[in-house]
Amino acid sequence: MHQQIIDKIKPEIDKVIDFTIKKLGSFRTGRASPALIENIQVDCFGQVMSISQLGSISVPNARQLSIQPWDPTYIPMIEKAILNEASGLSPITVGEAIIINLPQMSEELRKEIIRSISQVNDDAKRTIRKYRDEAWGEIQKKTREGLIREDDKFRAKEKLQDLVDDYNKKIDELIERKKKEIEG
């Protein structure tokens, strides 16, 4: 019974890991990456879509991104969205493409990005703790109802904490890898 409760939160915690990976991918590291802009939301003729749905994104060189919109009428809307959502990026229209030259990262910008990454770390761990607390509450409730034995309750608490520790370790590894990328 307690294992079912623990198994029920695993997919939710996996979603936290996936979200963390996507969020970390959106931080600039000094090298151009489509992940910097692909999920920026663009208001396009009354519909909101990501840049990756409106065109192809390529990396012509280490400090440049190129967006080739499927339809040239998307260009002003994509530029506006990039200016509003991606601080420090300046899109330039060249023919029917949008070019973004990435500036060198200053030490101040590196520190700001690392602070933001630490916030992602805190948010992910807080969410995992929330799921742990929900599962623990359910286990305690089932114990009071007589559906889980007292000794199984403590075994479940250990398994739950082991699960949380494993996921926190994964998050720590992701965060450390990203911080090293940024620090160069």
Question: Is the model's pLDDT at 6 over the cut of 90?
Answer: no
Is CATH 3.40.50.960 the right assignment for the domain spanning 34-101?
A: no
Stretch 141-166: mean pLDDT? 89
Q: What is the pLDDT of residue 39?
A: 82
In sequence order, what DSSP letters do the residues of 57-109 get, joined into one string? EEEEETTEEEEEESSGGGHHHHHHHHHHHSTT--EEEETTEEEEEPPPPPHHH
Contacts of 144 (CB under 8 A, 6+ apart): none
Question: Is the model's pLDDT at 107 over the cut of 70?
Answer: yes
Q: What is the pLDDT of residue 68?
A: 93
Q: What's the half-sphere exposure (Cβ side, CA atoms, 13 Å) at 138?
A: 17
Domain residue ranges of the chain, discontinuous segments joined by +:
2-25+106-183, 34-101
Q: What is the pLDDT of residue 183?
A: 74
For domain 2-25+106-183, give the fold: Topoisomerase I; Chain A, domain 4 (1.10.132)
Q: Which carries the bigger pLDDT value, residue 104 or residue 139?
A: 139
